Amino acid sequence: MFEAQDGLGMAGGAQLSPLQIAYETYGTLNADKSNAILICHALTGDQYVASENPVTGKRGWWETMVGSGCPIDTDRYFVICSNVIGGCMGSSGPANKNPEGNPYGLNFPVVTIKDMVNAQAKLVDHLGIDVLFAVVGGSMGGMQVLQWAATYPQRVFAAVPIATAARHTSQNIAFHEVGRQAVMADPDWHNGDYYGFDIRPTKGLAVARMAAHITYLSEGALHRKFGRNLQERDNISFGFEADFQIESYLRHQGMSFVDRFDANSYLYMTRAMDYFDLASEFDGKLANAFMKTETRFCCLSFSSDWLFPTSENRAIVHALNAAGANVSFLEVETDKGHDAFLLETPELFDTVRGFISAAADELGLADKP
Amino acid sequence: MFEAQDGLGMAGGAQLSPLQIAYETYGTLNADKSNAILICHALTGDQYVASENPVTGKRGWWETMVGSGCPIDTDRYFVICSNVIGGCMGSSGPANKNPEGNPYGLNFPVVTIKDMVNAQAKLVDHLGIDVLFAVVGGSMGGMQVLQWAATYPQRVFAAVPIATAARHTSQNIAFHEVGRQAVMADPDWHNGDYYGFDIRPTKGLAVARMAAHITYLSEGALHRKFGRNLQERDNISFGFEADFQIESYLRHQGMSFVDRFDANSYLYMTRAMDYFDLASEFDGKLANAFMKTETRFCCLSFSSDWLFPTSENRAIVHALNAAGANVSFLEVETDKGHDAFLLETPELFDTVRGFISAAADELGLADKP
């Protein structure tokens, strides 16, 4: 845990003080501190990218990508992953106590992607690191990668935004709004001031998660995985039980989510993504965000991702091209939808491994102790 | 209102008695009763296809399609539209009183598309009509059209299933399940037994409607109509108000829906669609549903409809082809998504007008008084 007593000035005008950042590191920082890779997590992710999450007891959420011998090799790189502010895994967020000793609830200032990144920059300062060798993330993590490259171009040697967008679309805002309304419709939400109660707004949050979960999968993957298969029965029940496997699966997703996530944090995370529109900071021109950047970029999208479709990722690539940036792009063919970035997706691993390796060679990292 | 005292035997085994069917008719039945067109409504539709809905005060939901001089011309045809059973506009449904005088609630038997069609057949009998000149409907209405053609092939001269499917997909079941869980999570739902209370489960139903509404529109239409435009403000509020037009629009859709629709009916309607899998009645082969049919079919889909995509409509066409049926098919190019069937879509109107006209000529309807 890192605590910055000077706090953080936020985009909405608030001063968050103190600023707490919960983080994990893996591997060893080299002597000139040039081998650090920052991993940015997605909407409901956390800092346990490559180690057991103490709350859920589950393995790291990106152990296939980050670890010894992995594409992001902790034998070679010093990997940092911090819980975003507004989250609920130890960094400052709505469930934390304010300076007066009461939970913030909705009095926690609304967080933007830029706020998350500025907070991470303070952590990176604290670790004594001037330039990050790479910043990597998917989905909301990819938004942070783009923001890092735009706000701190001198501090990012290589950037890997995956399955993301430079602005949240109308349809995506719409899905988030449904989730928020589901939470807010739950009488146990108490306008965000539920921390003193035994009961939390789990029903609303479960519905929100169910709706969101559909958007993480492709229609093809759903059809392949579930189709119209029935759940532990031979015939439909002519009732409202979970007759179909897909119903049972979604209910499980909703119910298990509420055990590990705070409902208010869900509101803040979705809002941060909705508010993200990188071009708006740069006179409405996305290319301006990357003018004269020396960062090298590797952008990836997934063919069946309809939440962050290839078109949105390609728009980033076009802007990078227009800015004269060094950029490579791959659309990975998969039917796994948006979730592909968290799953066994060999083409993703191979591409990240190759890109990181080449960037390390370029920087001469192999020669450094 | 038609009331069948002998009731209706339903797919789940229940006997619904009495059976009430609320319906509207337009135009005049000809002497040999050969000019009747049955319109089947969609999930939240009603019998007021071409006349003012007395509850909402709004105009008929398909006035562009059905009326004097319209593609389905009430000067030439006798148009029937009935509220499906399980609905909430006067036909037997969960809000109605059971024979003991109490509202059914969840004791109303679960309704299938076939049950809806069998109830309509009783109404058609009651009107003294042997053969329907045409059966027309979109979405859940299209499912009824297919069921009519499969169950009563001798009674359907022409069939127009629009933007529909012969089975509900996993993704569509998933969205429906989210909606149902949103309703059921509302403490005012009281396990469906809320009719005696002042407060109804409007919050849950509004969330369900919001989620569903997103699926009725295409990403392109949302982008064109709303983009990231702000609602009556120049800047984001750094809060959870409806900053974006799309949020405001969705909230309005949710709130206005609950004034006109019963939450339990929403559960029953979505369940009926989920259960629909026409092939399952015919040894798993959809073509068997239409073997030796003499009905002529006109199938339509919309290019940007991702709820009932062209692929699902094409599967119907393939089955009809395999059954040797007389079928024409058009994918209408539009960015309006699933909603296109209810909107100003000239290609849809032209196609239905042409098909109905040709079928009328074939039947020699013009010569009949």
A with B: how many residue pairs have Cβ under 8 Å apart? 154
ipTM of the complex in this document: 0.95
Q: Is residue A93 part of a domain?
A: no
pLDDT of residue A367: 74
Please confirm, yes or no, whether B139 is among the known catalytic residues.
Answer: yes
**Model confidence at A366, in pLDDT bands (50, 70, 90)?**
confident
Q: Is residue B228 part of a domain?
A: yes
A247:B109 CB<8 A: no
Residue B285, Ramachandran bin (φ over 0: left; ψ between -120 and 50: alpha; else beta):
beta
Find all residues with CB under 8 Å of B166, minimum gap 6, and list them.
Answer: B143, B146, B276, B277, B278, B279, B286, B289, B312, B315, B316, B319
Q: Are residues A323 and A343 in the same domain?
A: yes
Q: Is residue A125 part of a domain?
A: no
Sign of CA dihedral B249, B254, B260, B266: positive
pTM across the whole model: 0.96
Q: Are residues B75 and B29 in the same domain?
A: yes
Q: Are residues B35 and B142 in the same domain?
A: yes
pLDDT (mean) for A321-330: 98
B321 C-beta neighbours (distance < 10 Å), count: 13
Closest to A186 (Cβ–Cβ): which among B168, B185, B274?
Answer: B185
pLDDT one-digit tens code per residue, B277-321:
999 999 999 999 999 999 999 999 999 999 999 999 999 999 999
Sign of CA dihedral B266, B270, B275, B278: positive
CA A87 to chain B, closest CA, distance in angstroms equals 16
pLDDT one-digit tens code per residue, B200-245:
999 999 999 999 999 999 999 999 999 999 999 999 999 999 999 9
Please confirm, yes or no, whether A139 is among the known catalytic residues.
Answer: yes
Task: Determine the Cα–Cα distance for residues A274 and B246; give it in Å rounded to an integer.
Answer: 11
Find all residues with CB under 8 Å of B256, minimum gap 6, and list them.
Answer: none
Closest to B181 (Cβ–Cβ): which among A109, A210, A236?
Answer: A210
Helix (H, G, I), strand (E, B) or coil at B87: coil
Task: Determine the Cα–Cα distance for residues B113 and B215; give it in Å rounded to an integer.
Answer: 21
In chain A, which among 27-86 make CB contacts under 8 A with chain B? none
A196 C-beta neighbours (distance < 10 Å), count: 9
pLDDT (mean) for A159-181: 98
Mutate to test the interface with B, among A112, A113, A115, A170 (most CBs of B within 10 A): A170
Six token digits for residue A22:
């919960």
Task: Determine the Cα–Cα distance for residues B337 and B220; give it in Å rounded to an integer.
Answer: 8
Phi first, then psi, for residue B134 (nearest 5°) are -150, 150
Phi first, then psi, for residue B297 (nearest 5°) are -115, 145
Six token digits for residue A196:
């003193």
A239 C-beta neighbours (distance < 10 Å), count: 11
Q: Are residues A325 and A351 in the same domain?
A: yes
Task: Determine the Cα–Cα distance for residues B239 and B367; give it in Å rounded to an integer.
Answer: 67
Mutate to test the interface with A, among B10, B108, B114, B170 (most CBs of A within 10 A): B170
**Model confidence at B366, in pLDDT bands (50, 70, 90)?**
confident
pLDDT one-digit tens code per residue, A47-56:
999 999 999 9
Domain's final residue, options A248, A270, A292: A270
Task: Determine the Cα–Cα distance for residues B308 and B301; give it in Å rounded to an integer.
Answer: 8
**Options A41, A168, A176, A338, the catalytic residue:** A338
Q: Give the count of domains, chain A.
A: 2
In chain A, which among 238-267 make CB contacts under 8 A with chain B? 238-240, 242-244, 246-247, 250-251, 254, 267
Q: Is residue A126 part of a domain?
A: no
DSSP letter assigned to residue B111: P
B246:A203 CB<8 A: no
Q: Are residues A158 and A188 in the same domain?
A: no
Q: Are residues B304 and B356 in the same domain?
A: yes
Q: Are residues B327 and B287 in the same domain?
A: yes
Tell me: pLDDT of B369 over 90. Answer: no
Determine the longest span between alpha carbons in chain A, in angstroms. Answer: 68
Q: Which residues of B touch A174 (CB under 8 A)?
A: 210, 214, 222, 246-247, 250
CB environment B190-211: b (16+ within 10 A), e (fewer): eebebbeeeebbbbbbbbbbbb
CA distances, A197 to each of A187, A227, B112 (Å):
12, 40, 42
| Beta strand segments in chain B, E | 2-4, 8-9, 15-16, 19-21, 23-26, 36-40, 66-67, 72-73, 78-82, 132-138, 156-162, 296-302, 326-332
**Model confidence at A268, in pLDDT bands (50, 70, 90)?**
very high
Residue A299: strand pairing partners: A329
Q: Is residue A178 part of a domain?
A: yes
Task: Determine the Cα–Cα distance for residues B145 and A261; give it in Å rounded to an integer.
Answer: 45
Q: Is residue B111 part of a domain?
A: no
Q: Are residues B223 and B333 in the same domain?
A: no
Q: Are residues B242 and B321 in the same domain?
A: no
Closest to A178 (Cβ–Cβ): which among B171, B214, B267?
Answer: B214
Give me the domain span that covers residue B305: 23-82+131-167+278-367
Q: Are residues A38 and A157 in the same domain?
A: yes
Tell me: pLDDT of A212 over 80. Answer: yes
B168 contacts chain A (CB < 8 A): yes
Q: Are residues A179 and A55 in the same domain?
A: no
Any idea what the CATH number is for the domain that residue B55 is in? Answer: 3.40.50.1820
pLDDT (mean) for B323-347: 97
Tell me: pLDDT of A368 over 80. Answer: no
Tell me: pLDDT of B186 over 90. Answer: yes
The percentage of chain A sitting over the pLDDT mark of 70, rounded to a whole number, equals 100
Please confirm, yes or no, whether A17 is among the known catalytic residues.
Answer: no
How many Å from the N-terminal Cα to the C-terminal Cα in chain A? 27
pLDDT (mean) for B336-356: 97
Q: Which residues of A touch B167 (CB under 8 A)?
A: 228
Any idea what the CATH number is for the domain that residue A216 is in? Answer: 1.10.1740.110
pLDDT one-digit tens code per residue, A76-117:
999 999 999 999 999 999 999 999 999 999 999 999 999 999
Which residue on chain B is closest to A191 by alpha carbon? B240
Spatial strand order of the sheet with A23-26 comes to A23-26, A78-82, A36-40, A132-138, A156-162, A296-302, A326-332
